[in-house]
Amino acid sequence: MNTQDRLNFVNGAFAPAKDGAWLDDLAPATGQVIARIPRSTKADVDAAVAAAKTALPAWAKTPVAERAALLDRVADLLEARLDEIAEVESRDTGKPLALAMSLDIPRAISNFRFFADLVRTKTDDASMMADALNYTHRSPVGVCALVTPWNLPLYLLSWKTAPALAMGNTLVAKPSELTPLTASLLAEILNEAGCPPGVFNLVHGLGAEAGDALVSHPDVALVSFTGGTATGAKVAAAAAPQFKKLSLELGGKNPSLVFADCDFEKTVPGVTRSAFLNQGQICLCGSRILVERSIHDRFVDALLEELKAWKVGDPSDPATKIGAGISAAHRDKVEGYFNLALEEGGTIRCGGTRPPLPPPLRDGFFLEPTVITGLPATCRTATEEIFGPVVTVHPFDTEDEALQMANGTKYGLAASVWTSDLTRAHRVSQALESGMVWVNTWLHRDLRVPFGGVKASGVGREGGRNSLEFFSEAKNICVKLD
Ligand code: NDP
């Protein structure tokens, strides 16, 4: 076996695909192959689901304290290997190492600790009647399918794995084939932490093969999917006839609303970060910036100035703020939008090109951060999800116009509002068609709050209690009191 091969993890053992097929895993910063993963088929998925089904009764009966203790051990083991795991995540995704060190892996650790604490301290609802007591009993849903994307691989997998295990479910995870490495490290760590065989299973492979076989499997009772809207529609269509429990966290085209009364000095770096963090490849990134006309030109100038500090290049360099995009195909897609923006009458104010980098980075999938002005807010460039280091900036005259522009896409995941007027902040936030709104901040995450989108950005909510509720079935028990 090649030392760079990563394996599936099924029933407590690492194994290649049953038919021996492999996929190459590339480093986005160099375009070079760094590992091979199993190209799993339905047979591999069937084995993983069968293992999860067999492990379910014992895990469901395992006391909550023991399940929580497992999650804490996983957090400790991740923390002990933080540097190594961050390096792997950066190599596999192309994101700056500093970002993986400060955001991705610390968040994965907190996800395990947070859900351990939450499940230990959770209480159940009770409702008294004059002659009866109702209480809510929560049991595991069953075998869960967790399907995750390439932009925040371990962060999002841990966000689903921790509550699923905490509530007594067993699971099969299918990470993106573009970023499989930290999922394999998580399997190792769960194994080392004493997770019983079959409770956590990992199947690598392509979405249309392993992913589809998993979400369609009759013994899978729940699907938690994070990914693009078009894929989400396929997953929903596969899950619906079997009435699986379903959560879909999908794409976004999130507005940042900048009012003339904002704290300008804080707003410019805040909005820049929201647009370009992780190469703009976070579903929550603010990719359409709506600015009150009286400060529009000054804001664009300040944004362009701010971006001079956003160095593009070697992800391992601590000074790098923008690493590589995920793949050549994705870079082609983003570059297609540069051409479209010009056709639609826009002006590319900075970026719109590949940066000149020395080998081996010359073969990586880098793009300069790109700012486009002069486009109508209704055009394709301004309303379709690009998911790269690209923003469009649009002036508005009134609050109503800003809201109309903000709500004028099919998406509704997140938004940010930048103003010093507290009344306006509440009024605008409540009128936005969006699952989440940040005021004078962005990606300021409290793990207790609901997370999810409206319209084409998804169905259902995870986060805090919502995750514990999603990963369990509520039963009302009514006891007559004589
Ligand atoms: P995709 O939708 O392409 O893929 C997501 C996952 O689904 C991958 O593991 C993929 O596997 C798998 N998949 C693909 N086809 C199927 C199928 N038919 N059945 C089951 N699984 C399938 O998304 P990306 O990986 O390209 O991620 C980017 C998208 O994710 C963006 O649109 C972004 O907005 C969204 N996203 C949403 C978030 C949210 O919380 N709302 C958070 C992060 C990202 P494979 O990659 O192997 O094909």
Report the alpha-carbon angle 396-400-404, nearest 5: 80
Atom of ligand 1 nearest to the CA of 252: 34
- Is 235 touching ligand 1 by the criterion CB < 6 Å? yes
Closest residue by Cα to atom 11, ligand 1, is 207
Whether 471 and 169 have beta carbons less than 8 Å apart is answered as yes
- CA of 160 from ligand 1 middle (Å) equals 14
- CA of 175 from ligand 1 middle (Å) equals 9
Question: Which one is catalytic: 249, 335, 368, 385?
Answer: 249
DSSP letters for 129-158: ETTEEEEEEEEE--EEEEE--SSSHHHHHH
Whether 365 and 28 have beta carbons less than 8 Å apart is answered as yes
Q: Give the three-class secondary structure for 23.
A: strand
Written as six digits, the tokens of 250 are 């999908």
Whether 311 and 321 have beta carbons less than 8 Å apart is answered as yes
The whole-angstrom separation of Cα 58 and Cα 237 is 31
Whether 269 and 302 have beta carbons less than 8 Å apart is answered as no
Parallel/antiparallel/unpaired status of strands 390-396 and 286-292: parallel
Whether 449 and 464 have beta carbons less than 8 Å apart is answered as yes
- Is 464 touching ligand 1 by the criterion CB < 6 Å? no
- CA of 209 from ligand 1 middle (Å) equals 13
Whether 248 and 224 have beta carbons less than 8 Å apart is answered as no
- Is 419 touching ligand 1 by the criterion CB < 6 Å? no
- Is 178 touching ligand 1 by the criterion CB < 6 Å? yes
Per-residue pLDDT of the chain (482 residues; tens, 9 = 90+): 445 899 999 999 999 999 999 999 999 999 999 999 999 999 999 999 999 999 999 999 999 999 999 999 999 999 999 999 999 999 999 999 999 999 999 999 999 999 999 999 999 999 999 999 999 999 999 999 999 999 999 999 999 999 999 999 999 999 999 999 999 999 999 999 999 999 999 999 999 999 999 999 999 999 999 999 999 999 999 999 999 999 999 999 999 999 999 999 999 999 999 999 999 999 999 999 999 999 999 999 999 999 999 999 999 999 999 999 999 999 999 999 999 999 999 999 999 999 999 999 999 999 999 999 999 999 999 999 999 999 999 999 999 999 999 999 999 999 999 999 999 999 999 999 999 999 999 999 999 999 999 999 999 999 999 999 999 999 999 999 98
Atom of ligand 1 nearest to the CA of 231: 2
Helix (H) or strand (E) holding 394: strand 390-396
Whether 432 and 407 have beta carbons less than 8 Å apart is answered as yes
- Is 210 touching ligand 1 by the criterion CB < 6 Å? no
- CA of 168 from ligand 1 middle (Å) equals 26
Q: Which residues pair with 161 in a beta bridge?
A: none
The whole-angstrom separation of Cα 408 and Cα 334 is 21
Judged by phi (left if over 0) then psi (alpha if -120 to 50, else beta), residue 381 lies in alpha
Pocket test for ligand 1, best of 217, 231, 278, 411 (most atoms within 8 A of CB): 231
The whole-angstrom separation of Cα 290 and Cα 301 is 14
Atom of ligand 1 nearest to the CA of 282: 43
Non-local CB neighbours of 459 within 8 Å, separated by 6+ positions: 236, 246, 247, 248, 452
- Is 379 touching ligand 1 by the criterion CB < 6 Å? no
Go through the domains of the chain in sequence order and give each one's CATH number. 4-250+457-478 (3.40.605.10), 255-446 (3.40.309.10)
- CA of 227 from ligand 1 middle (Å) equals 3
The verdict on whether 285 is a catalytic residue reads: no
Pocket test for ligand 1, best of 176, 331, 365, 410 (most atoms within 8 A of CB): 176
Sheet of 132-140: strand order equals 126-129, 132-140, 472-480
> Please, how many CA atoms are within 13 Å of residue 245, restricted to the half-sphere of its CB?
21
Judged by phi (left if over 0) then psi (alpha if -120 to 50, else beta), residue 310 lies in beta
- CA of 232 from ligand 1 middle (Å) equals 8
Question: Which one is catalytic: 195, 262, 283, 285?
Answer: 283
pTM of the predicted structure, to 2 decimals: 0.96
- CA of 395 from ligand 1 middle (Å) equals 32
Rg (the chain; Cα; Å): 23
**271 closest CA partner among 253, 259, 289:** 289
Q: Which residues pair with 436 in a beta bridge?
A: 414
**How much is the pLDDT for 4?**
84
> Please, how many CA atoms are within 13 Å of residue 181, restricted to the half-sphere of its CB?
22
The whole-angstrom separation of Cα 42 and Cα 219 is 13
The verdict on whether 283 is a catalytic residue reads: yes
Closest residue by Cα to atom 30, ligand 1, is 227
**140 closest CA partner among 480, 476, 474:** 474
End-to-end CA distance of the chain: 69
